[in-house]
Amino acid sequence: MYDLPIHPGYLLESVRSVDPTRYLVPGAVPPTSDASTSDDAIDALVQAQAKGLEALVERVGALIEARQKAGQEAAATISRDLTYLENLIIDRYRLGERATDDRTYVKLRLEQLRLHSELRQEGVSCWRDTVLLAKELADLVRRAEDARSRETLLLGDGK
């Protein structure tokens, strides 16, 4: 009765096959050409899931290394600032004078305490982030091993 135009996405001629291997694991590795040309879609799915999980394991491992490196760099910078500040404090010290009478000395000591606190906080933050990433890594390693076991079970040792 009504001649409504059909959206091109709904035309039967334009139906395309969807490669489900891209949707198995977030961050999954695109299937290789030999897996995409495989006649058996299950083989491609199983292989893509295992490869995707292994890629995620590598990425999380790299994140752990990067976080530890960033923590070490931050700690080194804070330690360098502390050394400089301690030299300033030593220069301000006068024998026979009360150090608390010198306002600059007091400010330097307060800054020194703040930097020590910042150094401890960076250590705790680095440890917390590393532990969370390590927990995620352990889960991904377990899932990758399960996926490889399933792949071996379903595909056999020949592939």
Is residue 147 in some structural domain?
Answer: yes
pLDDT score for 110: 94
Query: If you average pLDDT over residues 48-74, what whole number do you get?
Result: 90
| Plot region of 102 (φ>0 → left; ψ -120 to 50 → alpha; else → beta) | beta
Task: Compute the Cα dihedral for 145, 21, 57, 129 and give only its sign.
Answer: negative
Q: How many domains does the chain have?
A: 1
Is residue 1 in some structural domain?
Answer: no
Alpha carbon 132 to chain centroid distance?
10
Query: If you average pLDDT over residues 12-38, what whole number do you get?
Result: 49
Is residue 2 in some structural domain?
Answer: no
Range of the domain at 76: 8-155
Is residue 41 in some structural domain?
Answer: yes
- Exposure pattern of 17-43 as b/e (b: 16+ CB <10 Å)? eeeebeebbeebbebeeebeebeeeeb
Band of pLDDT at residue 40, cut at 50, 70 and 90 = low
Is residue 3 in some structural domain?
Answer: no
Give the range among 16-20, 37-41, 96-100, 102-106 with minimum mean pLDDT: 16-20
Say how many CA atoms lie within 13 Å of 108 toward its Cβ. 20
pLDDT score for 157: 62
pTM of the model: 0.62
